[in-house]
């Protein structure tokens, strides 16, 4: 408890934000910034603070292109993924990604790729070897069966699907590896913006399937990384 209490001295008060510089000590990765709802000025100030006090990779999730262009003027090493909607700094030169402990990102359809890219890029920046398999949903089951070798090589699998969300159960039944299911808001009216897929995944009869929130690619990427690195010595 004394160690945790001492970490309060590593909080920087910006007035509109309390930047947690102790996050990297506690969790192994700097504080991740959720960009939506923040002004460009607020986002830049937070990122400048994190950038100055950490040598690790940085993530600003759900960021717009306008926010990125504003940040880039002051932080020229910033990068942007339009699909993942993420500003990021890939600067950890000590990171060694082990291909024998691969995280596989799968989507049911092409429309699910933005959420998948958020998960893929997050897992990569957290120091993992990541591969992807997109548009292999159950409507064309032969597409999925053609990727069995990839599924068998994976150490953790993130399955991203909208509509009825069936892909997570099918993949969960094909592997002994942990499966993280991500429902997306893709689908017609009765999909209820991802609630149908969420309920389907929560009710999966395949053992070993866990579920994160709708469209939460970031959360899935972090969880996949934590599972992938369990029992590894730093």
In the block, tokens 């999925």 appear at 144
Beta carbons of 184 and 160 less than 8 angstroms apart = yes
Q: Is the pTM higher than 0.85? A: yes
Where do the structural domains in the chain lie, given as residue ranges?
A: 8-89, 102-228
Q: Distance of CA 211 to CAs 174, 177, 220, Å?
A: 17, 14, 8
Mean pLDDT computed over 98-102 = 92
Q: Is 223 left (phi over 0), alpha (psi -120 to 50) or beta?
A: alpha
Query: What is the per-residue pLDDT for 94?
Result: 82
Q: What rounded mean pLDDT belongs to the chain? A: 92
Count other C-beta atoms under 10 Å from residue 155's C-beta.
18
- pLDDT tier, 67 (very low <50, low <70, confident <90, very high otherwise): very high
Provide, rounded to the nearest whole percent, the portion of the chain with pLDDT above 70.
Answer: 94
Mean pLDDT computed over 45-61 = 93
* 34-38, 47-51, 100-104, 141-145: the lowest-pLDDT one: 141-145
Model confidence over 164-212: pLDDT tens digits?
999 999 999 999 999 999 999 999 999 999 999 999 999 999 998 999 9
Any idea which fold 102-228 has? Rossmann fold (3.40.50)
Query: What is the per-residue pLDDT for 2?
Result: 54
Beta carbons of 139 and 161 less than 8 angstroms apart = no
Tell me how long the chain is: 234
- pLDDT tier, 50 (very low <50, low <70, confident <90, very high otherwise): very high
- pLDDT tier, 4 (very low <50, low <70, confident <90, very high otherwise): low
In the block, tokens 């590896």 appear at 177
- Closest-CA residue to 115 (of 124, 125, 105, 104): 105
Model confidence over 83-98: pLDDT tens digits?
999 999 998 878 889 8
Q: Which two tokens stand for residue 124?
A: 């990569």
Model confidence over 10-21: pLDDT tens digits?
887 788 888 888
- 3-state SS string for 70-118: HHHHHCCCCEEECCCCEEEECCCCCCCCCCCCEEEEEECCHHHHHHHHH
- What value, to the nearest 5°, has the Cα angle with vertex 224 and ends 101 and 11? 120
Mean pLDDT computed over 112-135 = 96
Query: What is the per-residue pLDDT for 1?
Result: 47
């Amino acid at each position: 408890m004394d160690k945790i209490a001492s970490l309060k001295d590593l909080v920087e008060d910006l007035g509109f934000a309390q930047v947690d510089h102790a996050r990297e000590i506690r969790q192994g990765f700097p504080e991740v910034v959720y960009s939506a709802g923040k002004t460009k000025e607020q986002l830049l100030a937070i990122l400048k603070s994190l950038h100055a006090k950490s040598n690790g990779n940085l993530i600003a999730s759900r960021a717009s292109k306008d926010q990125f262009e504003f940040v880039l003027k002051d932080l020229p090493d910033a990068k942007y993924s339009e699909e993942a909607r993420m500003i990021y700094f890939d600067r950890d030169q000590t990171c060694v990604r082990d291909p024998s402990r691969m995280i596989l990102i799968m989507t049911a359809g092409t429309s699910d790729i933005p959420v998948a890219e958020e998960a893929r890029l997050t897992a990569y920046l957290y120091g993992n070897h990541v591969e992807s398999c997109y548009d292999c949903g159950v409507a064309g089951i032969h597409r999925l069966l053609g990727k069995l070798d990839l599924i068998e090589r994976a150490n953790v699998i993130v399955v991203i699907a909208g509509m009825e969300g069936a892909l997570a159960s099918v993949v969960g039944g094909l592997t002994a590896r942990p499966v993280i299911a991500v429902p997306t808001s893709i689908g017609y009216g009765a999909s209820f913006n991802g609630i149908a897929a969420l309920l389907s995944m929560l009710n999966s009869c395949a053992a070993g399937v866990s579920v994160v929130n709708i469209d939460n690619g970031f959360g899935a990427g972090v969880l996949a990384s934590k599972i992938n690195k369990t029992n590894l010595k730093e």
